Amino acid sequence: MPIKYKVDILSALRSAGYTQNRIRNEKLIGQATLTQLRHGELVSWATISKICELLECQPGDILEYVTESE
């Protein structure tokens, strides 16, 4: 997939004060989605929106398009 994360999302959330326990307890992001993020898999736009809200950033700050070499 040519869209990739620029940053480690979970590390960025942790730096902003959002531990995985806090995220789960406050029901900010589901467990299955946390697993997807841990494995570097892309998540829904709703989750990207929530991450941007929590990190106070734009989608372009955390995602990038990388052309696939043939």
Q: Mean pLDDT, 10 residues at a time, over the chain (70 residues)? A: 90 95 94 94 95 96 86
What pLDDT, on the 0 to 100 scale, is given for residue 1? 67
What pLDDT, on the 0 to 100 scale, is given for residue 69? 73
Contacts of 50 (CB under 8 A, 6+ apart): 28, 29
What pLDDT, on the 0 to 100 scale, is given for residue 68? 78
The residue type found at 39 is H
